[in-house]
Amino acid sequence: MFLAWRELTFARGRFALMGSVVALIGVLMVLLSGLSVGLVNDGVSGLKRMPVEAFAFEEDVDHSAAFARSAVDVTAVDEWATVDGVKDAAPFGNVLVNTRTDSGVDLDLALFGVQPGTWIAPSSATGEDLAGPGEVVLAGDVRDMGVDVGDVVVIDQIGTELTVVGFLDGQHTFGHVDIGYVDLPTWQEVHGGVRPGEEAPAWVYEQVTAVALRGDGIDLAAGDAAIGTTSMTLDESFGASPGYTAETATLQLIQVFLYAISALVVGAFFLVVTIQRKHELAVLRAMGASSRFLLRDSLTQSAILLVTSTAIGVGIGLLLGSGLSTTEMPFALEAAPVAGAAVLLVVLGMIGAAVAVTRITRVDPLTALGGNR
């Protein structure tokens, strides 16, 4: 501490410069973390908030588009109910539709078809729960767009009319689109493209998107083999929602690069500092300073620099982020990812610094003698 602290305050300009770089990376990390949590929520918050543990989709369905492509026979629901570990199985339907309300609000919706009153049907925070055909319960956020209970939502092209009977609590989205819960037959008609008043062919009522499952230690592999489905846990199914994998992968890539950059920058900085101190280090070695003393001194210095500047950066990031959270941007700050980013930033910085300062051990005290100053 003795030397580390005095050198920090003596060369404060240089260290402040380096500190600001780390702090700025910290700011960026917090913002990226908020953006990635926000995007994830925007993509799959509706799935996250379902009491479902797994979905059984059509066999060999394209994993990344399972929610859009899959079609499962309703009989699979009863079959899944008997699989080991399954407590409940329910039919589940998903379809993306463009709608317009009678008050003239354009609304893109992910229509989730469920049987009203079953475990999978959500309870409304405002208005009534879903009860029967021709009704829709919308995500709470839709209220901010000027839609209210009693409004009628008309589906483009086929003209199906749905009456808004209630709203869920807060954000329920799927693939960046708000969710509307409808009863299963209504969903099946919309999915089958049946216009109001038309006679629906029988197959329309035989299909659902997937079987929703809950239970304890469900034997998914056995169920899939016996019933001929492809199942995914809820977390796995996030990847089957539109754009999810691409978005998270992009953000993760950016974050990985930022971590690497910050470790390299910190390493390069301490390398330059160490090279610049070479003569000084030789003097200290001649005076009998051990490698351990010199390494500890340098690493203490890097730790002070990294922890302080990361804390400042994260603080600024949180401040900026809390401003962003209230905007339309998909942005949400969560403690765990922010703390994780901060810790990673410090740890990787320390690794960079450690690699750089190991050359301390190679400084020859002999160079302290003579006129090579």
Partner 1 sequence: MTAATATAGLNLAGVTLLHGDGDDTVTALDDVSLTVQPGELLAVVGPSGAGKSSLLAVAGGLIRPTSGTVHVGDADLTNASQRDLARLRRARIGFVFQSGNLLPALTALDQLRLPLQLGPVEKPRDPRELLDEVGMSHRADRRPGHLSGGERQRIGIARALMTRPQLLLVDEPTAALDRARSQEVVALLARESHQHGVATVMVTHDHDVLHHCDRVLQMTDGRLEEHVG
Binding-site ranges for partner 1 (CB under 8 A):
2-3, 6-7, 9-11, 279-280, 283-290, 293, 365-366, 368-371, 373
* Crossing angle (nearest 10°) for helices 335-357 and 244-276: 30
Considering only CA atoms, which of 85, 90, 44 is closest in space to residue 67? Answer: 44
Closest contact distance (angstroms) between CB of 265 and partner 1 is: 23
Measured from the CB atom, the residue of 197 and 370 that comes closer to partner 1 is 370
Closest contact distance (angstroms) between CB of 287 and partner 1 is: 6
Residue 6's φ and ψ, nearest 5 degrees, are -65, -35
Residues 95 and 210: their CA atoms lie apart, in Å, by 12
Is residue 349 within 8 A of residue 306, CB to CB? The reply is yes
Measured from the CB atom, the residue of 221 and 292 that comes closer to partner 1 is 292
Residue 341's φ and ψ, nearest 5 degrees, are -65, -45
Measured from the CB atom, the residue of 23 and 273 that comes closer to partner 1 is 273
Measured from the CB atom, the residue of 289 and 320 that comes closer to partner 1 is 289
Residue 250's φ and ψ, nearest 5 degrees, are -60, -50
Q: Exposure of 210 by Cβ count < 10 A (0-12 exposed, 13-18 middle, 19+ buried)?
A: buried
Give the angle 237-239-244 at the CA atoms, nearest 5°.
Answer: 135
Is residue 52 within 8 A of residue 278, CB to CB? The reply is no
Measured from the CB atom, the residue of 48 and 278 that comes closer to partner 1 is 278
Closest contact distance (angstroms) between CB of 20 and partner 1 is: 21
Measured from the CB atom, the residue of 19 and 337 that comes closer to partner 1 is 19
Residues 203 and 185: their CA atoms lie apart, in Å, by 12
Measured from the CB atom, the residue of 195 and 279 that comes closer to partner 1 is 279
Torsion angle (degrees, nearest 10) of CA 42, 46, 51, 54 = -80
Measured from the CB atom, the residue of 287 and 335 that comes closer to partner 1 is 287
Question: How far is residue 182 from each of residues 78, 122, 153, 185, 246, measured CA to CA in Å?
Answer: 21, 11, 12, 8, 29
Closest contact distance (angstroms) between CB of 6 and partner 1 is: 5
What type of residue sits at position 17?
A: L
